[in-house]
Each structure stands twice: as structure tokens, then as C-alpha cells.
Structure 1
């Protein structure tokens, strides 16, 4: 018969062994894995930042964001400068302001950056859909690139502004059927001139002088 004191020692020993068998960390499926409280990629990122060895894509991402912020800042400054140049006329019983042209008349290198559509625009000819064409203009005189947005009422009339604009691309697309998207990326030379409304507002117009043909 086993003494009571010995029984207590055996029970205590069994409990101690059971406690030793309980893992301190979760059981890992791979023998080389190590328990981490921070995900691997986060630790690598923290370490790379400390050492100044960020991955190339991280630096590129930051650079793009920085460039975007700088571009937005430049646009904001340009808009403010344009507003500061507005002319106000004081009459006897009224105050009026007119729009001034922001791009000087002359010859420019152009590139078509994008083309969109505005629907149901209230024009002097009634409600019209319009193509919105975004240009980049380069001046050899100033060596600067200036954006220009031109609106064309969508019309099939051969004497309409849209058709007159498209006629400049005849040689490039001769014998083809295209959509407006085919014009995106096209380059050439253009003349900027100003037109004036009855109220005295000045607007930029573009005349395509020639289009570079990649097939020639």
C-alpha cells in the first residue's frame, strides 16, 4: 500500500510534466519558422527604413506622389496668377470683368493628350454634346509647355469647327475609319489665335497647320 505522502508527490510530479508539455507559442508547421508578433513584411519595412535601403518600388511610389503634389501646387499657383490678372471695369452703375487670353498668339508644337465628351451643354446653338480636347503646347521661344483645352460642338456639318479641325488629319487617316481616340497622342504644329465675344472676352483658338505622320 502506497503511503499518502508519496501519492501527493506522484500527483504533483504529473502536473509539472503536463505543464512542461504545453507550448509557450502556437505550434508551427515548419521547423524553421519563428513566432513573430509583427508580420514579416512589416519588420522588413521597418528595418529597411532604419537602414535607408527602401525597396526601389517604394522610392518610385514616393517620387510619383511628390511629383503629383508639385504638379497640383503649380496648377494652383497658375490659377491664382490668372485670377489676379483679370481686369475689372467700373461703369456709372455697374462693375464688369472680362476674360483675357492666357496663351499668346503664335506657332506651337502640339500634342493631343486626351479627348473626352460633355453632354447636354447649353450653347448659343441650343443644347449640344461637345468633344473636350486637351492639348499640350510647346513654345520654342519660351521653351515652356502650356496646357490648352478646346471644346468642339459635335456636328457632322462640313463647315463646323469640328469638321474643320478633323480635316487637318486627312492625310494621316486617309482611307481609314476611326474614332476620336485615334487622335490621342498625335503631334504636329499649330497656330494659336484669339477670338473675342461681344462682351469683350478673349478666347484661344487652335488651327492645326500640319500633323506628323508616323507612316511616312
Structure 2
């Protein structure tokens, strides 16, 4: 789905990604690489293929949009170095020409040397481009002249069907003061968003992004 926000065209992709054609920039949030391996280390039986599946989805987006820049708005890595991070290092080598920017989130605690080794450019606390300022957590006030686009809360929306069944989907939230991207990783929960007047919610369904 294509929308216009603050004078710029934005593409909301059903793979939980935002593409800015004018800047050839693909933005995602909350990739949480290493989360499944971290759970397995703690004795929780989580499939080892979750991280690999997320990287395959990311590859599909890169092939689709051919961005010059990939921006991750926080929580790229869930914990320390582990086997999922090794998978990412191999994936990164396949896209060595892609500029990769990370706005650090609360889970991003690897060393500077680790980020450098994976050709990841760090921005803390934000990365601003055009009318937008990408930040991990939504701002607490309206002081910024730029429109913040954040992640962190894993936004979701509940839709009531004709048979009164309730379905919950990840969503893009474009509020009066800031926007929130859906969590990219499939291994996350959802925090229900309740929009105010003049705010927009776009549900990410299996087949398409739809405004609700």
C-alpha cells in the first residue's frame, strides 16, 4: 500500500517494512536476531529456523525494492553473540554493497567492534532524513520539528469480523505526533493500538496491508 505522509510517498509492505522511494531506503524495526537462540540456551524449545526465516523475508524485500540503504530502527539484535548472529554475518556478506544503518534500541548491546565487523553504521539516538526522524522509542513530547518514526512496542490492531470473531494483526500506526512500525520479526507479541481522531492504522494481513 502506498500512502503520503508529510509530503513524501511511503510504501507499506505486508512483510512489515516501510520503503521510501525518494531516498531508496528500506526501513524495518525490531528484527530481534538471536532471540530464538537465546531462548534455546535458556532451555525453551524454540525452532532454530525463526531467525533464518526472517532473513529470507528481508532478502525478498531487498530483491523487490533494490534499496541503497537498509535502516533498522532498533532491536536488531536481541541478546549477545550466538548462532543466529552467525547466520546474519553470512547473510550480510551476500549484501556487502548495501548500506546498513542501525538506530540503537534497548536490546542492541553488542560491542562497537562487533557492529563494525558486520558493516553496520550506528546512529544513537536517531537518524533523520527528509521530514522524518527515525528513533527506536516514540518521543514523549512534540518538541521535534521532524515527524518521528519509531518501533519498540510491536503495534497491533484487533479487527472484528462479520461473525464477531476477533482477529489481531501487526500494524503500521501513523499518529498525530509520531508513527510506529510493526515488528519485523515473526517471533514477537503485539501491543494493541487504539487510534485517536485523525490517526491512521494499517493492518498487516497475510495478503495485504489494509487501512482500518
TM range (shorter): under 0.3
Q: Which has the higher contact order (CA 8 A, sep 6+)?
A: 2
Q: TM-score, normalised by structure 1?
A: 0.19
